Amino acid sequence: MADPEAGEGRAEAEAAAGRPGDAAAPLGAAAVAAGILAGEAVAGLALPARGARIIEAALALFAERGFDATTIPEIAAAAGVGSGTIYRYFETKEALGNAAWQAAKRALAAAIAPVFLAPAPSPDDLPPNLPDPLPAGLPAEARLALAYRARFLALWAAGCGFAREWPAAFRFLEFHHEPRFLDRTSLRLSEQVMAPILGFIAEGQARGVLAPLAPQAVAALVWGALTGLVREAAAMSRPIPPDLLAATGATMWRALVVPALAGLAPLPVSSPARPRAAGT
């Protein structure tokens, strides 16, 4: 006879995580970011406290030991529940891994979403703390590059912030890019989270700001540099200093921008870009 509590737990998990066949709305730029912040991809899953605790414990252990080396009894002990309780929410270890991966990816989505809420960069959308008035004759392409760089540095800072606030989720995603146990909903979620980033890169290339390299390769280079920086800070048991955060972000920008625009003066990363009227 079926365990009604087990069925109830699985139903709650499915409602929160999405079933494999569910279609997900496409994500793109500001509208996508607004949807993420509205709750379509918020950090964590809407599970009861016990289910959320299981996912939190699983994330920590998967990040520390890897998915394959972690057992259900170890997750149960860390969550303070019995092994049978886990199976009331997740039919298999793979289903739990899928839910944990979704939780980590949604936390990343929530961290970067604010960067894309503003309209696409333009020559009239300049970051704060620039000389006022701007140097006479500053060409439109230089103004546009300043706006793009401000958004890139904000994205760089958001990635570092995600690693700081969600260390287990960051490590889990770092070592489990698209693991074998992901369902279609998770794969679609991965595409959704990447869509604004790849769109930003492709748009910057089309407008002559970013070097012509495949957007996926650009994203991989940036993620690799970010994970290396975070690992170095973790090895030294200290947070990333703001000046190092700014310097590494500026260095990555110079590696990605077209050579003619690479020499623009460094900009701070602490404040998001804000509209600025033309000619002011």
Distance CA 253, CA 255 (A): 5
Whether residue 55 is found in the same domain as residue 119: no
Among residues 54, 74, 91, which one ends one of the domains? 91
Please check whether residue 178 lies inside any domain of the structure: yes
Tens of pLDDT along 67-112? 999 999 999 999 999 999 999 999 999 999 999 999 899 889 989 9
Whether residue 117 is found in the same domain as residue 51: no
Highest mean pLDDT among 2-6, 54-58, 117-121: 54-58
Q: Which residues contact 67 (CB under 8 A, 6 or more apart)?
A: 97, 176, 179, 181
Tens of pLDDT along 209-221? 999 999 999 999 9
Query: Which two tokens mark 137?
Result: 């004759």
Whether residue 79 is found in the same domain as residue 110: no
Give the domain CATH number at 55: 1.10.10.60
Please check whether residue 279 lies inside any domain of the structure: no
* Position 204 confidence tier, pLDDT thresholds 50, 70, 90: very high
More confident residue, 245 or 28: 245
User: Taking Cα atoms as reference points, which of 60, 97, 66 lies closest to residue 80?
Assistant: 60
Q: What is the pLDDT of residue 48?
A: 65
Distance from chain centroid for Cα 135: 36
Q: What is the pLDDT of residue 68?
A: 93
Whether residue 185 is found in the same domain as residue 118: yes
Please check whether residue 199 lies inside any domain of the structure: yes
Distance CA 63, CA 186 (A): 18
More confident residue, 270 or 84: 84
Whether residue 111 is found in the same domain as residue 220: yes
Distance CA 114, CA 33 (A): 6
Q: What is the pLDDT of residue 128?
A: 54
Q: Is 58 helix (H, G, I), strand (E, B) or coil?
A: helix
**112, 197 Cβ separation under 8 angstroms:** yes
Please check whether residue 134 lies inside any domain of the structure: yes
- pLDDT of residue 7 exceeding 60: no
Over residues 270-274, mean pLDDT: 39
User: Taking Cα atoms as reference points, which of 123, 150, 128 lies closest to residue 279?
Assistant: 123
Q: What is the pLDDT of residue 70?
A: 96
Please check whether residue 19 lies inside any domain of the structure: no
Tens of pLDDT along 156-192? 999 999 998 899 999 999 888 777 899 998 998 888 8
Please check whether residue 21 lies inside any domain of the structure: no
Quote the strand ranges of 76-165, DSSP E.
none
Please check whether residue 9 lies inside any domain of the structure: no
How many domains is the chain partitioned into structurally? 2
More confident residue, 10 or 60: 60
* Total residue count of the chain as it appears in this document: 280
Give the domain CATH number at 244: 1.10.357.10
Whether residue 159 is found in the same domain as residue 237: yes
Among residues 33, 64, 91, which one ends one of the domains? 91
Whether residue 67 is found in the same domain as residue 182: no
Contacts 24+ apart (CB under 8 A), 65-68: 66/175, 66/176, 67/97, 67/176, 67/179, 67/181
**138, 158 Cβ separation under 8 angstroms:** no
Can you give the residue range of the structural domain that contains 105?
97-263
Q: Is 210 helix (H, G, I), strand (E, B) or coil?
A: strand
Query: Mean pLDDT lowest for which of 19-23, 152-156, 160-164?
Result: 19-23
- Largest Cα span, the chain: 80
pTM of the model: 0.73
Q: Which residues contact 104 (CB under 8 A, 6 or more apart)?
A: 59, 166, 168, 169, 170, 172, 173
**160, 229 Cβ separation under 8 angstroms:** yes
Q: How far is CA 32 from CA 26, 64, 278, in A?
A: 8, 32, 28
Whether residue 153 is found in the same domain as residue 64: no
Whether residue 76 is found in the same domain as residue 213: no
Whether residue 115 is found in the same domain as residue 206: yes
Whether residue 65 is found in the same domain as residue 168: no
Query: Mean pLDDT lowest for which of 103-112, 218-227, 256-265?
Result: 256-265
| Eight-state DSSP code of residue 124 | T
Whether residue 182 is found in the same domain as residue 168: yes
Please check whether residue 102 lies inside any domain of the structure: yes
- How many CB atoms sit inside 10 A of residue 79's CB? 21
- pLDDT of residue 247 exceeding 50: yes
User: Taking Cα atoms as reference points, which of 167, 145, 155 lies closest to residue 196?
Assistant: 155
